[in-house]
Structure 1
Amino acid sequence: MSTYVLPRPTNSDIAELADFRRELHRHPELSGEEAETARRVVAMLEPTSPDRVLTGLGGHGVAAIYDSGKPGLTVMFRSELDALPIEELGDVSHRSLVPGKAHLCGHDGHSTILLGLARLLGRARPPDGKVVLMFQPAEEDGSGAAAVIDDPRYGEIRPDYAFSLHNKPGAPLGSAVLSPGPANCASRGISIRLRGSTAHAAQPETGRSPMRAVARLMPALEECGGRGPLGPDFAMVTVTHSSMGAAVYGVAPGEARILATLRTVTDDAMAALCERVEALIAETAQAHLLCFDIEYADIFLACTNDPLATEYLSAGVARAGLPFASLPMPQRGSEDFGRFGHGARSAMLFLGAGENLPQVHTPTYDFPDELIGPGIRLFSETLSACMERG
């Protein structure tokens, strides 16, 4: 057990970090493309003199290591590097310079907060153990955390504790939403391809059209979920896309595709939902004499807050002087931070971005720079609590 108090960020720190956040915002990169974003992060880390920086981790991931040189806990704080394939429509001066791509989820702000923590670690190393700042790639498509963990170098930084935050429009600015247990739902995309055979539109009976199967499947898929309250049995299926045949008048279709998102609170419930959905697809395809293929993508495990990690994060909230907000947990949205919880005690907090701010993933969203200071203090105080009690 060690007493460890990090310095506070200066006004100059906050101003420089806000400028950096806006620069990131101007130059968004999608999942798997974050090479320039990673380069900018590494350049910002350099003055903080980390003991080691791992680059190209699980793709374009960056891990900065601040090592005391003494045995102790490894504590990781994680942010995300990627942006979204959405056209920004806001009128901020630092709006995206890349058509069709924008930081509309706040990952630019999350990474800036981590860079602020890096400045403090550069001024006051941990008394024992080490601190890892993980700038993770490809969060938006659910592939980044898995790729980082699968990277052989991850074994060098595998944490005992892992912490993360996500800004939360709708919650009062600077407030904290946190509880032990489920924090974010598990989700995955399912692609269903139905295959029959085409026919002349004047003789549709000579082919095998997927039309009736599609008409049956779309509402039946959503009924597989049933929604309900956000408890252990919660399940939701959202049909997001469908297409069928060629866009012509003379040919009855022979192939169709349906995309849907499956969502549950727990990983066990996800396995059960997948089983129900796959049985429905097989039954429907057989009834209409169709072949079918199923593929899964954008796979997010459930994100569950460990009780002890949540206790440390709650202590960080209190020490940083942030108020708690009462909002329902878990969140319906997904976060691939949950994968880190399979090898570490982990917890994620939602940091209020303002009650009247546009929601994330909307064209006019912009991360509020007013959260940079509170976010840094939250993480620095969480680290102090972890080191003192762990």
Structure 2
Amino acid sequence: MDQLISLRHWLHAHPEVSRQEMETAKHMWRFLEDHAKPDAFVQLGGAGFAAIYEGKAPGKTVLIRCELDALPIHEINDDIAYRSLHDGVGHKCGHDGHMTILAGVAQTLADRPQKGRVVLLFQPDEETGSGARSCCQHENFEKIQPDHAFALHNLPGFSAGAVICKTGTFASEVKYAGIKMAGKEAHSAQPETGFSPSFALAQLTLKAREIQAKYDRPDAYALVVPVYSQVGVQASGICPGQGEAHFTLRAELGAVVEEMWQELMACATELAEADGLTVSFDIREEFAATTNGQIGFDMIRQATEMTGHAFVAIDQPFRWGEDFGEITKRYGGAMFGLGAGEAQPDLHNPDYDFPDEILKNGISMFSALIEIVTTEVDD
């Protein structure tokens, strides 16, 4: 554990944002080479790679995933010796802990499983929603093709080491999109001689609240959240001719997200036409809903019994997106939460730090899942 904690602290001090995780990937690759050498490495998209551990006899393939990327959030934890060395970047989602857990799992595979095959996936770009998709679409992923796939996410607000899970949607469908409107600048003393997007974008922002209210219900939430807007330049004499607004749409079901997006686009088009503007749409990020199959859920429940961890069954999905959904919609599997402690700061807070004491819980859970899958009787 001392070795793993040192690894986690190094990762925490050297965070890299999505699509820039090359040094992180190199460090994890070297760690596996030195301490838990796999039978093969498989290079995937971007910084992503997989480490494959072949069992002593043929059997099922189980994939365990972690994420390489950090967030563009400045760390304020001045009281820790391993605080981020990069201003404006921090492991505020706990992916440093997730990588370390997989490193620990790799160490348990040094003597190889009795049967089957274990694939440890070190995935880039989770925070942008593109990493899992690019890995699955990479030609080298054909060499993996898991029978079951699992991942975890640390969860502040739950007892340290507890396992949190549900069937169906575990993490939400998310779409992040921009809407741009363009017209013609004019003197602000004569706004009627131009075409400004200011009022149309303001009305669109208010319309987002109406669309959300239409779909949001106590038993199935839906959100349409304005996250960014920009109109014109800081000059008193110019009535703007360009502007844009960005929205995040999320819900338990992808169909609801798409319906809300269609309504928002239709409203934007109508408002733009009324004010003599052109309008364009830009899908910037998409997260498929992470859906837990019954078999994967049952395996997680069985693993908690084997390890003695507390199990917390939840009724509603988490509102955040997780691109592991790109894997669960292609292969059987499930994601579970790992309690990080009830008094911890929330995820994406500038003072969040993954608790080292739950590393062993994540390792034991994945080890139990590997045993369950690889000893499963073939169909």
Report the TM-score when normalising by structure 1.
Answer: 0.93
In the alignment, structure 1 residue 237 sits paired with structure 2 residue 217: no
**CA offsets per residue over residues 233-256 of structure 1, 9 Å max, x none?**
532100011111111000111111
Residues 230, 149 of structure 1: CA spacing in aligned structure 2 closer, same or farther, 3 A cutoff? farther
In the alignment, structure 1 residue 105 sits paired with structure 2 residue 75: no
The Cα shift of 1:274 comes to 1.8
Partner residue in 1 for 2:48: 61
**Displaced runs of 4+ in structure 1, greater than 3 A?**
none
Unaligned runs of 5+ in 1: 1-13
Partner residue in 1 for 2:106: 118
Contact 1:317 1:382 (C-alpha < 8 Å) held by counterparts:
no
Give the letter for the 1:126 counterpart. P
Contact 1:316 1:383 (C-alpha < 8 Å) held by counterparts:
no
Give the letter for the 1:301 counterpart. A
The Cα shift of 1:315 comes to 0.9
In the alignment, structure 1 residue 361 sits paired with structure 2 residue 361: no
Q: How does 1:69-218 map to 2 (within 5 A)?
A: 70-90=57-77, 91-123=79-111, 125-218=112-205
Counterpart of 1:300 (choices 264, 279, 287) is 287
The Cα shift of 1:92 comes to 1.5
Partner SS, residue 155 of structure 2: strand
**CA offsets per residue over residues 296-334 of structure 1, 9 Å max, x none?**
012101110011011111111121111023555300000
Partner residue in 2 for 1:5: none
Partner residue in 2 for 1:9: none
Give the letter for the 2:95 counterpart. H
Counterpart of 2:20 (choices 15, 21, 33) is 33
Partner residue in 1 for 2:31: 44
Partner SS, residue 324 of structure 2: helix
Which stretch of the first structure deviates more once superposed, 325-334 or 77-86? 325-334
* Structure 1 Cα separation of the partners of residues 184 and 153 of structure 2: 47
Counterpart of 1:373 (choices 360, 367, 378) is 360
In the alignment, structure 1 residue 339 sits paired with structure 2 residue 319: no
* Structure 2 Cα separation of the partners of residues 70 and 230 of structure 1: 50
Contact 2:200 2:271 (C-alpha < 8 Å) held by counterparts:
yes
Contact 2:75 2:90 (C-alpha < 8 Å) held by counterparts:
yes
**CA offsets per residue over residues 357-387 of structure 1, 9 Å max, x none?**
0001110000000011111001101111222
In the alignment, structure 1 residue 275 sits paired with structure 2 residue 291: no
The Cα shift of 1:389 comes to 3.3
Partner SS, residue 184 of structure 2: coil
* Structure 2 Cα separation of the partners of residues 97 and 204 of structure 1: 49
Residues 339, 182 of structure 1: CA spacing in aligned structure 2 closer, same or farther, 3 A cutoff? same
Contact 1:172 1:325 (C-alpha < 8 Å) held by counterparts:
no
Partner SS, residue 126 of structure 2: coil
* Structure 2 Cα separation of the partners of residues 26 and 328 of structure 1: 36
The Cα shift of 1:85 comes to 0.5
Partner SS, residue 158 of structure 1: coil
**CA offsets per residue over residues 132-191 of structure 1, 9 Å max, x none?**
000100100111011101110001002110000000000011111111111000101110
Give the letter for the 1:95 counterpart. R
Residues 310, 150 of structure 1: CA spacing in aligned structure 2 closer, same or farther, 3 A cutoff? same
* Structure 1 Cα separation of the partners of residues 207 and 162 of structure 2: 40
Contact 1:223 1:237 (C-alpha < 8 Å) held by counterparts:
no
Which stretch of the first structure deviates more once superposed, 170-179 or 70-79? 70-79
The Cα shift of 1:270 comes to 2.1
* Structure 2 Cα separation of the partners of residues 328 and 99 of structure 1: 39
* Structure 2 Cα separation of the partners of residues 329 and 271 of structure 1: 20
* Structure 2 Cα separation of the partners of residues 65 and 351 of structure 1: 24
Partner SS, residue 185 of structure 1: strand
Partner SS, residue 41 of structure 1: helix
* Structure 2 Cα separation of the partners of residues 82 and 230 of structure 1: 34
The Cα shift of 1:277 comes to 1.5
Over aligned residues, Cα RMSD in angstroms?
Answer: 1.4
Task: Give the % identical residues.
Answer: 39
Contact 1:210 1:253 (C-alpha < 8 Å) held by counterparts:
yes
**CA offsets per residue over residues 204-263 of structure 1, 9 Å max, x none?**
1111111111221111013212263475x5321000111111110001111111011011
* Structure 2 Cα separation of the partners of residues 242 and 257 of structure 1: 6
Which stretch of the first structure deviates more once superposed, 185-194 or 316-325? 316-325
Partner SS, residue 24 of structure 2: helix
* Structure 2 Cα separation of the partners of residues 277 and 129 of structure 1: 48
Contact 1:68 1:129 (C-alpha < 8 Å) held by counterparts:
yes
Report the TM-score when normalising by structure 2.
Answer: 0.96
Partner residue in 1 for 2:234: 247
